[in-house]
């Protein structure tokens, strides 16, 4: 941004410090004071969350956050004033304000130093933003020299630890900008600003420097560890609703299916091959030519009977995603209506040459109009999920004045990073208002803090089809998850696969190796979805049954479906307990520093350690198993002690996969789609060596009745010393719930069968919802 300085006014804390004691005012949530020509307010939102709000003295700024939805709680806190500083303490943390300089620091209740601003580090620089006198704003902090931090959304830098970085946090295809980080000291910091922001960490400071901001506004939260910090971030910005059960199966996509007949035929082929499938995705241009871009209607030549297409997909027991974009070509009625009401942003978005413009997602009236077209043209047909592409949005033919564009909330520059939050929020809120029978599921290419409350599953964008990119997806996904957003996925095989076309496309052995390794990784992500350009990715494109490329895909798609009860229970943990699917080793093993910067492995839920193969031709891989536990090789049943690095052979059909001792894993039936069979004859796998606990969650699979209490929980407890499994009383009920069922208990060992199937049942019993214990 070219800044037009209306005054060279930089407010730096520390100028002309008075020797006299400073005064402050107690508020209902903390304190406020005026120092160094600046208003400083520190407010406790909960015992764990503190807001720090600073603005130039005399400013009338009253900010309404787009990301934060929590309101301050009524709570008790202590205030101690020594004349130079004032300390506000809750039952969890203490915030200290230097009344002379305005510096704020945080300690734990045990006196441990957690986090501090840098002296003289809050800076407001007066600028002119599209004719509006305002500021560029910066806040700097001091971190411990060896402190490790995570987060910042999704960055494609291949790093798990985000120290030593200088990053422009600005929404882009493949990059998600979230000005949030969390530390191994157990705290997190959310910088609540929506303009492009430079994050810097070096030996001198750690800082957020935003192009536009009337105030310096951030939230400090203490969670004690990674999972706790994520829980606090969700408390602050919103909880994640349940995704439908079918979304945890397998979804097939392509750029693009050119007719409705081609799309339905793909589902038919999967059914004929007995390959499980739950989702099919219709990408762009179903509306016809680019001059009709995003018309939210079907071209009568290639999609002559869209209702028949939707009905056919449903009759085949599958579900349909439809793509929608935030931009419209001039020929569309949407463009014309938005233009007539001054609700278009006047810059070019995808596709090039079509003069497509995005609508003003910040305007609630514009979001209403967007949904009205989407509902009448597509949702009324009974489609199941949305693919909201280009949610950054794409910005082509960039001009400096594009960022001066007025939006409903100010210049585009001032709110740019919140575009995906506003856009997805509009679709989610409108669909929720229209129907509670079908859960919202939004596949989206970008995200911002708080977007988890809108049922979004963000994919990593149009990444390249190559091994270095596959490697980077693991830390990208983990940092995204550590930023508070639990649902992430990526195009299996990478999006741009043109380098492999000459060698035979899907029959190219090099692409087959990359694709199958990527699929193994995708099996252990919240959404398993095949997609890409250049090369069609349907399983039958790679060969036929009995051929390696086909058989490996079939194996891992089937594994995904056997994990459905485990994944659905993990989804409930996400919704009900602010949990996460993809977790770095640090999240579960905070006392084992050897795993803190491990960017090649992760926990999937609480039971599985996954170490994807991310190098071409790799026949073995070194794997670190965290200390404090024993580990079962999923494929062999071999038990390995933690706290060491081992070498695991990695033939093409194997991804290194370990299960933590003490895990209880429900194993679903072999199915062709998620609801084909009831879970009335369920295998329960126990991995001995430690005590275990697991809650099996069930509900109606695709409605919001769970919000009204229509769900059940069955808790399993394993006592490793006595070898007794206790199944507690079932809690809750819902329509269609199993009154009686059979549990088949498997005590996993090297001798007792291994892998996906071939497990030997140790004991079976009927369960009718009443507590019982079984000795094994």
Tell me if residue 389 is catalytic: yes
For 393-432, list the strands marked E by DSSP: 406-407, 410-411
Catalytic residue chosen out of the listed positions 119, 147, 172, 462: 462
Tell me if residue 262 is catalytic: no
Tokens describing residue 286: 């179903």
Tally the residues of the chain. 776
Of 9, 13, 14, 96, the C-alpha closest to 54 is 13
Give the per-residue SS3 of 287-303.
CCCHHHCCCCCCCCCCC
How close are the terminal C-alpha atoms of the chain, in Å? Answer: 68
Bin 340: left if φ > 0, else alpha if -120 < ψ < 50, else beta.
Answer: alpha
d(CA 250, CA 526): 11
Chain centroid to Cα 242, Å, comes to: 13
Decide if 288 contacts 237 (C-beta within 8 A). no
Report phi then psi at 307, rounded to 5.
-65, -40
Catalytic residue chosen out of the listed positions 392, 394, 416, 601: 392
What is the enclosing helix (H) or strand (E) of 51? strand 49-56
The number of beta carbons lying within 10 Å of the beta carbon of residue 604 is 21
The number of beta carbons lying within 10 Å of the beta carbon of residue 72 is 15
What counts of helices (H) and strands (E) characterise the chain? 12, 46
What is the enclosing helix (H) or strand (E) of 630? strand 630-633
Bin 171: left if φ > 0, else alpha if -120 < ψ < 50, else beta.
Answer: beta
Bin 100: left if φ > 0, else alpha if -120 < ψ < 50, else beta.
Answer: alpha
d(CA 522, CA 614): 12
Exposure string of 239-253, with b = 16+ CB inside 10 Å and e = fewer, is ebbbbbbbbbbbbbb
Three-state secondary-structure class, residue 279: strand
DSSP code per residue over 293-330: TT-SS--TTTSS-HHHHHHHHHHTT-EEEEEE-SEE-T
Catalytic residue chosen out of the listed positions 201, 389, 683, 698: 389
Decide if 447 contacts 419 (C-beta within 8 A). no
d(CA 749, CA 686): 9
Q: What angle do CA 682, 684, 690 make, to 5 degrees?
A: 170
Tell me if residue 107 is catalytic: no
- What is the torsional sign of CA 571, 576, 582, 585? negative
Beta pairing class for 38-44 and 620-625: unpaired
The residues with which 94 forms a beta bridge, in sequence order, are 89, 107
What are the Cα distances from residue 716, in Å, to 752, 759, 773?
A: 21, 19, 10
d(CA 772, CA 429): 43
Q: What is the Cα Rg of the chain in Å?
A: 27
d(CA 310, CA 263): 10
d(CA 510, CA 592): 37
Tokens describing residue 2: 């070219």
Decide if 28 contacts 148 (C-beta within 8 A). no
Three-state secondary-structure class, residue 535: coil
Instruction: Give the residue numbers annotated as catalytic, written as ranges.
Output: 389, 392, 462
């Amino acid at each position: 941004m070219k800044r037009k300085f209306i005054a060279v006014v930089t407010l730096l804390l520390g100028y002309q410090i008075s020797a006299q004691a400073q005064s402050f005012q107690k508020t209902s949530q903390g304190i406020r004071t005026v120092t160094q020509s600046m208003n400083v307010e520190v407010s406790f939102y909960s015992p764990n969350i503190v807001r720090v709000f600073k603005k130039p003295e005399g400013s009338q700024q009253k900010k309404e956050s787009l990301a934060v939805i929590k309101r301050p709680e009524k709570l008790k806190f202590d205030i101690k004033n020594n004349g130079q500083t004032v300390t506000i303490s809750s039952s969890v943390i203490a915030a200290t304000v230097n009344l002379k300089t305005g510096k704020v620091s945080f300690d734990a209740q045990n006196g441990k130093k957690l986090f501090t601003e840098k002296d003289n580090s809050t800076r407001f620089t007066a600028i002119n933003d599209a004719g509006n006198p305002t500021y560029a704003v910066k806040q700097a902090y001091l971190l411990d020299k060896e402190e490790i931090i995570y987060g910042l959304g999704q960055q494609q830098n291949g790093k798990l630890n985000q120290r030593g970085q200088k990053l422009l946090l600005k929404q882009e295809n493949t990059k998600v900008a979230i000005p949030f980080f969390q530390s191994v000291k157990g705290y997190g910091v959310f910088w609540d600003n929506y303009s492009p922001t430079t994050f810097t960490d070096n030996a001198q400071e750690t800082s957020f420097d935003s192009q536009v901001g009337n105030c310096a506004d951030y939230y400090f939260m203490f969670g004690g560890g990674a999972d706790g910090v994520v829980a606090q971030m969700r408390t602050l910005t919103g909880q994640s609703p349940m995704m439908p059960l079918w979304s945890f199966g397998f979804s097939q996509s392509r750029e693009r299916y050119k007719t409705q007949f081609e799309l339905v035929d793909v589902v038919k082929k999967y059914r004929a091959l007995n390959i499980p499938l739950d989702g099919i995705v219709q990408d762009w241009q179903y509306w016809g030519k680019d001059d009709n871009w995003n018309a939210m209607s079907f071209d009568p030549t290639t999609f002559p009977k869209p209702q028949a297409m939707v009905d056919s997909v449903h009759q085949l027991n599958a579900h349909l995603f439809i793509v929608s974009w935030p931009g419209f070509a001039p020929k569309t009625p949407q463009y014309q209506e938005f233009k007539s009401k001054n609700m278009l942003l006047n810059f070019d978005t995808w596709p090039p040459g079509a003069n497509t413009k995005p609508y003003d997602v910040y305007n609630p009236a514009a979001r209403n109009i967007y949904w009205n077209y989407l509902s009448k043209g597509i949702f009324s047909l009974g489609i199941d999920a949305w693919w909201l592409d280009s949610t950054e949005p794409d910005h082509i033919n960039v001009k400096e004045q594009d960022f001066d564009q007025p939006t409903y909330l100010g210049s585009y520059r001032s709110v740019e990073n919140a575009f995906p939050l506003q856009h997805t929020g509009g679709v989610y809120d409108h669909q929720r208002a229209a129907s509670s029978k079908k859960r919202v599921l939004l596949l989206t290419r970008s995200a911002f803090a708080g977007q988890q409350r809108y049922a979004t599953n963000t994919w990593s964008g149009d990444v390249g089809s190559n091994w270095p990119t596959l490697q980077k997806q693991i830390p990208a996904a983990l940092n995204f998850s550590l930023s508070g957003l639990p649902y992430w996925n990526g195009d299996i095989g990478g999006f741009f696969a043109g380098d492999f076309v000459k060698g035979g496309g899907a029959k190219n052995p090099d692409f087959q190796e990359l694709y199958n390794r990527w699929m193994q990784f995708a099996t252990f992500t919240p959404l398993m979805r095949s997609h890409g350009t250049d090369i069609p990715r349907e399983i039958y494109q790679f060969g036929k049954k009995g051929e390696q490329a086909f058989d490996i895909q079939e194996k891992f798609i089937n594994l995904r479906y056997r994990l459905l009860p485990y994944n659905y229970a993990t989804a409930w943990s996400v919704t009900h307990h602010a949990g996460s699917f993809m977790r770095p080793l640090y999240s579960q093993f905070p006392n084992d520093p050897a795993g803190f910067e491990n960017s090649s492995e992760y926990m999937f839920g609480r039971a599985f350690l996954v170490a994807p193969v991310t190098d071409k031709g790799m026949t073995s891989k070194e794997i670190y198993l965290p200390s404090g536990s024993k580990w079962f090789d999923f494929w062999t049943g071999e038990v390995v002690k933690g706290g060491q690095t081992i070498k695991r052979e990695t033939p093409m059909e194997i991804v290194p996969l370990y299960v933590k001792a003490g895990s209880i894993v429900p194993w679903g039936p072999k199915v062709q789609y998620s609801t084909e069979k009831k879970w009335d004859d369920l295998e329960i796998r126990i991995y001995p060596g430690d005590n275990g606990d697991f809650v099996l969650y069930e509900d109606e699979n695709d409605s919001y009745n769970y919000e009204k209490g229509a769900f059940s929980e069955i808790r399993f407890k394993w006592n490793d010393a006595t070898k007794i499994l206790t199944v507690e009383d079932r809690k809750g009920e819902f329509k269609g719930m199993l009154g009686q069922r059979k549990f088949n208990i498997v005590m996993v060992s090297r001798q007792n069968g291994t892998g996906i199937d071939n497990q030997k049942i140790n004991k079976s019993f009927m369960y009718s919802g009443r507590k019982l214990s079984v000795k094994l």
